[in-house]
Structure 1
């Protein structure tokens, strides 16, 4: 005799099917998510004409404190914030306030809903090499094929409610065929006149050590010793002035050379000042 299926099991299976179908339908397409991010960004900068953001390394290092001025402009039917001038562009917030993030999301091949650090996020995966490397080239005449590194993939974790990035991972390929992994984690978002700005940015770079031979490291140690000798011969006032400027970088460089590898480790940057509509 054919065994019947119980009603509770049938109902449970139906609920699972409906839930799965709902999740698929609720998942935004790359175009839809990009449009949502663009609209949210425009809303956030409605009261902002310009903004100055100062970023400093948390514990010293190779990068100095930088101040970048962003100005609101109208481009391609939408208001955005673009970098006007900077002491040195270290890439911390570049592309965060303009139209580059939506362009990147539109090129995604996969969008998955998941949880990141307890927060619902969209994990956006992009492997379109042209889209990854041509961001911004329309406006600065930059040819990425002439660069030494090419971005081959990216994964972005975007907060589902706030629609800002929490983490960005990128895989790069050097001209010599070495792979470099770059990870940016953005935390402690605070709002200024509606604009959400991450106040703690952690950058991690892996794979650089593979590009250096023992001879390269020995040569770098020689340069460092030569610099120390030159400093020792300088007048005290001049030596103190230069050491105040270079000592953190020299100590970090020395630690890298004497360590197990030439990795940069975690570099933490903090936003120390924000000025709106100055």
Structure 2
């Protein structure tokens, strides 16, 4: 196990290990969720509103939140990868990780854990939704004060149309706010590199057909759709002509309901 030395405020040097950091992360999280049985996040994603409902369960003696997601039409699906997934890993995260040391993410000092083997965990597999992504390794960047995750990095392979391609996903969590004890990142930005190379000819043809249909609409309808989907269309157009173009998805939390039960 890799152990690093860290200088604390009084000048003393203490050992840091993956096990120490994961224990501190889980301890801080458990304290925050005491008294919280469920919560709902209302989020804006690419012009659409979604709701994700988290309910507390006991797994191997620990309290964890399991999530379900309601999108268009109230359909329930598996939600995208989020901060709760790292807490659900529990001590397994420590067994799979090595401590890299301290770095900075923006204005924040962080501890970095490199996960050497993600196989079988499911952690990060849904970061690129609607794609068969299998994360193989990754990194977790924990805030040095609050122990909340500031960044996830996942590296692995994606299977699309019979081909296997490398894919890297980077999730940046920011604008943390306290809501009835919970620390919620109100802004998450996910950058996915390698997805453009997986766009097959059929998808490209569908996109070109959609563009033709859009051009045939009345001007006011076309303007409304373009205003709503301009960012997505611009990204997809770039990915159609450049395999190295990333997909960037911003998720903003618009409301948090704590201990209110399921969807309203």
Q: TM-score range by the shorter chain?
A: 0.7 to 0.9
Of 111, 115, 126, 2:104 maps to: 115
* Equivalent residue runs for 1:1-278 within 5 Å: 26-57=14-45, 59-60=46-47, 64-87=48-71, 88-93=77-82, 95-96=84-85, 98-100=87-89, 102-128=91-117, 132-135=118-121, 148-175=132-159, 176-212=163-199, 216=201, 219-229=202-212, 243=225, 247-248=229-230, 251-252=233-234, 255-256=237-238, 260-261=242-243, 263-278=245-260
Structure (1 or 2) with the larger CA radius of gyration: 1
Determine if contact 2:171/2:188 at 8 Å carries over to the other structure: yes
Unaligned segments of structure 1, at least 5 residues? 1-19, 138-146
Corresponding residue for 2:74?
A: none
For the residue of structure 2 that corresponds to 1:28, the secondary structure is strand
As a proportion of its length, which structure holds more strand?
2
Q: 1:27 to 1:55 in 2, by over 3 A?
A: farther
As a proportion of its length, which structure holds more helix?
1
What is the rounded CA distance, in whole Å, between the counterparts of 1:50 and 1:109 in structure 2?
A: 32
What displacement does 1:172 show?
1.1
Determine if contact 2:196/2:242 at 8 Å carries over to the other structure: no
For the residue of structure 1 that corresponds to 2:84, the secondary structure is coil
What is the rounded CA distance, in whole Å, between the counterparts of 1:150 and 1:97 in structure 2?
A: 16
Superposition misfits of 4+ residues, deviation over 4 angstroms:
20-25, 228-234, 242-250
TM-score (norm 2): 0.73
What displacement does 1:107 show?
1.1
